[in-house]
Amino acid sequence: MSEERKYQLVETLLKLTKEWDTYIFTIKQSLAMLKIKFNDVSDEDFIKIQDEFGPAYFLDKVVNVYLSHLDEKDIEDLIAFYSSDLGKKMRRQEMLSEFNKMGVEWTRIVNLTCAEKSKLQYKREN
């Protein structure tokens, strides 16, 4: 299977299942948190980081995960399923999206809480 074909199939599957929307949301949330956490990084450098590690970088990693577990036929079958009536019903389950968003929010809150505790510990020690 050509590299272009791999990307096309996985991208199609991700868009059908709405997973790509979740990944983009997660990437944006994570980058926003990192921008706050590392506020001493210049805007110019942070834009370079976003460009280097943004959606294209992530898509490459996702494609590799899919292809390490599924072959071209498997992915085509999944695309056919998610294009079917039952697959369309599965795609509409906002509950899955809500769970994903809850996970991202949980990560953000825990990250901020840990950072706050870390600052407090540093102040106590100095």
Count structural domains, the chain. 1
Q: What is the pTM of this model?
A: 0.62
Give the end-to-end CA distance of the chain in Å, rounded to a whole number: 59
**For residue 20, what pLDDT is reported?**
86
pLDDT one-digit tens code per residue, 64-114: 899 999 999 999 999 999 999 888 877 766 666 777 788 888 888 988 888
Range of the domain at 17: 3-125
Q: Is the four-CA dihedral 25, 30, 31, 32 of positive or negative sign? A: positive
Lowest-confidence segment of 35-44, 45-54, 93-102 by average pLDDT: 93-102
